[in-house]
A and B are shown apart, each in its own frame.
Chain A
Amino acid sequence: MSYKNGRRALRSLAALALAVSLGSVSINVRAYVPTNRDTKVAPEKAEYTPEEYSEYELLTETGTVRYYWREDRDILAIVDKQTGFCIKTGADLPFSGDIKDAVKALEKADASAAEILAAAESYPDDLNTTYVGIANSLITIEYYESDKIKYLSSASESGVESALSKVEDGKYCLDVHFTGIDVQIKVYLTLEEDSVDYHIPYGEMSGAGLSKLAAIDVTPFLGASGGRMNVMNPETLEWETVDNYRVPGYVLVPDGSGSLIRFVDNTSTFNSYVGDVYGRDYATETYYSFSYYDDVPVKEPVMPVFGIAHGDGQMAFAAWANQGAEYMEIIVNPDGTRGTTYTWAYPRFELNINYYQLYDEKGSGFFKQMDEIYQYDIDMTYAFLFGDGSDGTPAADYTGMARAYREYLIAAGELTPLEAKEGDIPIRLDFIMADSKSGIVGNTQVKVTTAKDVEDILNQVMAKGITNINSGLIGWQKKGESLSKPYKMSFSGAIGNKNEFKSLIEDFREKGVDISFSRDVITINKDMVNYYNTAVRCISNWYLSIDKEAILPENVPTSLFSYATPTKAASWIKTLADKTSDFSGSLTLAEMPHVLTSNWNRDGVVTSLTDAAALYRDTLEGVNGKQLLNLENPHSYLWKYTDRYLQIPVGSSQYVFETDSVPFLEMVLHGTMELYAPYANFSFYTQDSILRMIDYNISPSFILSREPSYKLADTFSANYYSTEYSLYEELIRQVYGTVNGVLSQVQGYEWTGRYVPENGVVINTYQRGSDVRYVIINYTENEVTYQGTAVAPESAAVAEYPEYSREGGVNNG
């Protein structure tokens, strides 16, 4: 295979030489061994041989790509006109049965070697018939046969009929009839300039077997790498197993801030990565009760997007859901999972579930599926990225994927770039004011910060020269956060009465500090509210129950929780916003922005996931007109109304097969809202963490109290191990000083690239007009020099370079 475009190759070579000459590591004291919390250097160049596409029919051609179609295997091939790079929606593999039969027959008939060789097409060694069907398919369906899930693909060997027809120019329809279970599905393909849109309308699904459908998987093998073929040795005429070319590259998953799963040959068998977009819908899980355990919950995707990159700045795609995101799961099967040597990734759209229907308190019940499948349209866009981005288009890597997705969100009005502002970066200082513990009679309020304390502390922080502050007050109500009703403006004299809060907020508004009430409007317990008509009912018609015993102290008033129904949560937000808008120009919402559940009753669904998301959007749209919204790790359907993104994930859930962490989420959102790191108090205060804030371009945040936090030891807030302001005075100054020292120099700049010249060093490129600045982050223990700037060990520096340079990070091709 050979890489075609000579001009580009030359440029890359020159750039490589430049990189080597610029990047000089003086004394290599200790090699930096990266972990999966780092971003490693880009994969190697992929090799590529152009194909003839003789089995394919040319559907259409745009300025950028050619679209080919292979009818017998239902494969769409997208070919970059400039480079010849091709990506196919399927693995393009033959079924082995016919080949083996044919060869055997020839052998029996003593046919000539040439005849046998001609018939002996190579066939996959590690895929059975079902999997060859899946590997080729444009869509694969999963269906229930009793409680077990089975697969049928649009390109299965049997049990399916499919045909592509033209609807209009650039628009086609694949009509798939899964005769095996009698389900008919229409997939509309819109072939754009450099993207493909798949639309699967619910209204056009039909057939007697529809209720059996468990899920639809879209192009499961698009961009897959790996595989092993049985190839006939022309000399011995024996079948031999040969590994396919291993494409250097990775899958990007929206796990936490973003994570790469590089294509590697694993020696172990792992479980698949399942990223349930917008988190699990607790109401439709198998059971109605959940328990926290000793493991930290995984970070769930807040956005319906993933991508695959081949090579280094050569070919990639970013894929996102326009519709059906609430039911979408992003599945990645790294090499070794599910018995294949492929690494493959795809979106899975859930349509039916298997759940346990209880009929008494003791837990007796039976497994069943819904009588009718979820009713929603699936719509996916696949944007194809070619080249290293030097032509101004998004680069074929994760930075390009972030850019493509960001541009889509901006075009759709979901994100709006903020006006460029220079100056200091902001800092978030939250206050924990009170919570409750068990007392002799009922529960007792434990107060650790008063309204007056907040005033004192903020004044002290401002006296140190930190002025761009915003604050959230947690546990401001009587009895604190966990036991007070979410919507009630109930004040306790001990913490601060209404007037004290009012004057506190107003005084600081004049000083340019925004203070808001913070509230979790979705986590409830029976000591707080009556569950009737308030708590989410699961599909089994039981109240959702979440047991936090393992993560709370033994003696808290209760360790059983539930979630409020979307309707209740939305109405509480409204009430709270109405009441607090007299006080504060902003409102902080905890938990709710990253919890999405449906609600059910005996007759079926009351609020579906789609309805719930829409309800929250409507509610926040109303609030956002009057108040700024500070949302804790919000799902993408709330980004339109998010002014400050709190507790933004940094790094991934650290699946064993995840190789890198990348600031994908941060690159998508940069400059459209303020982004705040997780609280530095808890294991996020080290130099490495500070560098990560600079690398990910996020502002620091702290949670503070006046009194020692051990007073909270018997409350729900016992996980705030350390919050006393006097202990943090210096750390706030130090962390903010370091982060602001670097990031204030690129405030108002657009973050255009991220490049890893060597393990442990990251160069972020920022641009404003023709002004280009580089932030060089050195995680290693050695001094490094890039862009003529020496960066001390474990520190970051800003370099200005008159010209745009690819090593600077616009692309890493």
Chain B
Amino acid sequence: MRTHGKMRRGLLLLAAVCLMLQLPMRVSANQATSYTYAADENGYWVRTQDAYLPDKTVTELGLSAPEDLFIDENNMLYIADTGNRRIVKYDIARGEVTAELTSDEFTAPRGVYVTEDGDIYVADSGTKAVLIFSADFRLKGKLGRPDAPIFADTNYEPKRVAVDGGGNVYLIGEGVYNGVIQLAKTGEFLGYFAVNDADLTFAQRLQQMIFTRAQLANLVDINPTVFTNVFVDRSGIVYTATSGTNKNGMKKHSTNGGNMFKSNVWSYDTLTDLYVDDSGLIYTCSAEGYINIYSKNGEEIFSFGSYVTTVDISGLFTTLPSIAVDRDGNIWSVDGSKGYLQSFKPTEYAQMVYTAMDLYEEGRYDEAMERWNQVLKLNQMSILAHNGVGKAYLHAEDYEASLEHFKVANNKDFYSQSFWEVRNKWLQKWLGPILIVAIVLLVLKKLIGILDGKRGRHLAAAKKQAADKAGSLPVLKDFIYALKTPRHPMDNYYEIRKYRQGSVLSATIIYALFFLDFMAFKTLKGFIYQNMKVEDMDIGSIVLGFFILLGLFIICNYLVTSINDGDGTFKQIYMIPAYGLMPAMISLLIVTAVSYVLTYNEAFLLTIVLIIGITWSVITIFLGLQTVHDYTFGETVKSILLTVVFMVIVAVIGIIISIMWDSLYSFLAAVGKEMIQNVL
């Protein structure tokens, strides 16, 4: 999702550059004007059933550059109609303007907030004050510039305002980067409520370290993180919106101003407003026209909207400065440059998702499951719903049923938990019989050995004979030799060096087997350990990468060692890795097989097996190189390092050639076309 966000941003720019490319295309049946996206199992935005449909478009209010919206307890929408220097009170239920708040004090009324008591707070950046009106539009008070000495140099141009139950006022001020200005009821400056941590890139950190103050002052901050809005819900929790960052642009603050969201919350980097409804759902909007909905814990639920400038369609905006949510859950928004209102109605699907989340949160798992199942009815691909149903099953201890849902939701942690329970049950049932069978088999084996010993060891002899016979078959012999090599690397590689053992054919077969083993490890592990779905893999590059790395190593090692007095021939170098691969190969095989029955609790077992297998192979190959080239330990290390350096060089050259080839190709193609058109 995060990466996709960036990509979308990129797309935005691209779209802005070539507007002509952004053409409306073919017919669509539904009533939505933009697609709704939700997170897929990998956290990418993926299209989902519509969550909101554009509902009412109100063009006749004559708004001019409106900047802020607020909806009070009585479902009255207050619009800060900045350009017309008024606050418009719009009755949502009746669809008409009921009153207009005007005042001589208004210069640029940009923010509006209505308290539970009905007091209307208007932030006016022109008048440089917050004006307080009673419900009947009587001017009750004015919070001018605080006179605290600490505030002396600060700009005071309030543009957004929110008020908590205690009457404390939170202000976003034009040009104030320190944080949200917090004033007491009396207008006294209480301090900056929340402060955005400077989120520096590596380059910026470096600049901070080495640049002089003058140089730093000269740097143009291309993406300043700025508070753009503040909201206080009816329980007094303060939320803020910050633009200029994708990370934690939307914050829910604790009483001391800290961010209550533990993990990073993704948001658009042009956030202009946020709103919280009574159930705690958080709605944000971005300047280009995207609206996102988050759960009270900051989980992303839906995202919709689009960036379109050439057509005026309900639900798409030229600029989107503000949103508000009415008592029925409809989102109200306003187009900042065209001055019309647009509401969005939640679909049954969205409403069901919200109810299910609430029920789950309240611990009513059975009811939640019922709702989640209804959600699945409308969208069988909903990751939220599959997780919800899975968790509900988990709570109900129906572990088997939960597995399928966690699998679809790619929720490996919970899947692992459920699987542990399922396996536990299975073990409890079958452990006894399995142990008995194992003991019986062991006893049988022992008995056969004893009996065979008494009868002249015919069986043992036959076994040895079969093994010898197999050992004399050309390829099988080499294969058995490869199996033995890791146990006696020095001796066995010495034999290879002397051409007494090993063959290129066998090495090739071993590579092929190892490749199959590797691919199985990559693609066929049990669900818990298969970190990436096959569908998401770039199989081509895995295959190519495997062979290129191996080939490069062999070739580079040959080149490096041949100028460094290595004794190994190319054939031998080709064989060295093959004959050392067995431990890695076996460990991959074990891991792949065992991954089906292990949960995350036993992950360490797989790690140990892998470490042993790979380390063993690496040591074997190292010893192989040392033996075959007749190097000392130091020389071997040096040759391997050189090989790696050489591999890097070859790879870089390869990349350069491939880039140049494109240019060369297009140059030749252009010349060719020119010739065809003009010469022939």
* Residues in A lying within 8 Å of B, measured CB to CB: 30-31, 33, 35-37, 264, 266-271, 279-280, 285-287, 289-300, 359-362, 437-441, 546, 550-551, 553-555, 591, 594-595, 633, 647, 649-651, 653-657, 678-679, 682-686, 708-710, 713-714, 718-719, 721-724, 727
Contacts and interface: CB of A to CB of B under 8 A. Distances in A.
A440 B539 contact: yes
Shortest Cβ-Cβ A-B pairs, 10 listed = A678-B29, A295-B306, A33-B95, A297-B25, A294-B306, A298-B24, A268-B338, A267-B62, A721-B379, A654-B314
28 contacts: A33-B93, A35-B56, A264-B59, A271-B310, A271-B311, A280-B25, A295-B306, A295-B316, A300-B24, A359-B670, A360-B669, A438-B534, A438-B535, A551-B47, A553-B40, A555-B535, A654-B33, A654-B314, A655-B311, A655-B313, A656-B340, A678-B29, A678-B30, A709-B380, A710-B408, A713-B381, A713-B408, A721-B381
A37 B314 CA distance: 11
Nearest to A359: B670
B48 interface: yes
Interface string B477-503: 000000000000000000000000000
Given A267-B63, A294-B307, A683-B347, A33 B534 contact: no
Nearest to A632: B27
Contact of A268 (B94, B290, B340, B670): B340
Contact of A684 (B22, B23, B30, B408): B30
B380 A722 contact: yes
A656 B313 contact: yes
Interface stretch (B13-21, B207-215, B575-583, B608-616): B13-21
B9 interface: no
A479 to B, nearest CB: 15
Contacts of A296: 28, 30, 32-35
B281 interface: no
Contacts of A440: 519, 523, 534, 539
Nearest to B31: A651
Contacts of A657: 59, 312
A297 B666 contact: no
A724 B33 CA distance: 26
B379 A683 contact: no
B24 to A, nearest CB: 4
A520 to B, nearest CB: 11
B35 A294 contact: yes
A227 to B, nearest CB: 19
Interface in B285-324: 290, 304-308, 310-316
B49 A550 contact: no
B47 A719 contact: yes
A714 B57 CA distance: 36
Contacts of A437: 535
B93 A31 contact: yes
A701 to B, nearest CB: 10
B33 A287 contact: no
A295 B50 CA distance: 12
B348 interface: yes
Contacts of A290: 21, 23, 25
Contacts of B533: 555, 714
A392 to B, nearest CB: 35
A686 B347 CA distance: 9
Interface in B590-638: none
A297 B24 contact: yes
Given A554-B44, A722-B377, A362 B313 contact: no
B45 to A, nearest CB: 9
Contacts of B380: 708-710, 721-724, 727
Nearest to A707: B380
Interface in B354-392: 376-382, 386
Interface of B: 8, 11, 15, 18, 20-35, 37, 40, 42, 44, 46-50, 53-57, 59-64, 93-95, 290, 304-308, 310-316, 335, 338-340, 342, 347-349, 376-382, 386, 408, 519, 523, 533-537, 539, 666, 669-670, 673
A654 B54 contact: yes
A546 B313 CA distance: 23
Given A290-B21, A647-B29, A654-B33, A554 B49 contact: no
A721 B54 contact: no
B27 A299 contact: yes
Contacts of B59: 264, 266-268, 656-657
B57 A36 contact: yes
B25 A33 contact: no
Given A270-B338, A722-B377, A285 B57 contact: no
A719 B380 CA distance: 11
B49 A721 contact: yes
Given A268-B59, A270-B312, A441-B539, 11 more contacts: A290-B23, A294-B306, A297-B26, A300-B26, A360-B670, A551-B35, A553-B46, A647-B29, A651-B31, A657-B312, A718-B381
Given A268-B338, A271-B310, A37 B31 contact: yes
Contacts of B339: 267-268
A31 B94 contact: yes
Contact of A710 (B27, B44, B61, B381): B381
Contacts of B55: 35
Contact of A722 (B37, B311, B378, B673): B378
Q: Which of A287, A297, A656 has the most chain B CB within a 10 Å cutoff?
A: A656
Contacts of A684: 29-30
B49 A722 contact: yes
Contacts of A267: 59-64, 339
B50 A656 contact: no
Contacts of B40: 553-554, 713
A682 B49 contact: yes
Contacts of A360: 666, 669-670
B21 A298 contact: no
A289 B377 contact: no
B27 A594 contact: yes
Contacts of A550: 11, 35
Contacts of B340: 268, 656
A721 B57 contact: no
A364 B523 CA distance: 42
Contacts of A723: 380
A266 B58 CA distance: 11
A270 B318 CA distance: 10
A264 B21 contact: no
A286 B20 contact: yes
A280 B23 CA distance: 9
B306 A293 contact: yes
A583 B250 CA distance: 59
A31 B53 CA distance: 20
A287 B379 contact: no
A682 B377 CA distance: 11
A264 B59 CA distance: 10
Contacts of B56: 33, 35
B358 to A, nearest CB: 22
A367 B381 CA distance: 45
Contacts of A299: 27-28
B319 to A, nearest CB: 12
A731 to B, nearest CB: 9
Given A267-B63, A296-B32, A297-B25, A33 B94 contact: yes
Contacts of B44: 554
Contacts of A554: 40, 42, 44, 46, 536
A287 B21 contact: yes
Contacts of A293: 11, 15, 22, 306-308
A300 B311 CA distance: 13
Contacts of B408: 710, 713
A280 B64 CA distance: 34
Contacts of B381: 709-710, 713, 718, 721-722
Contacts of B63: 267
B258 to A, nearest CB: 34
Contacts of B534: 438-440
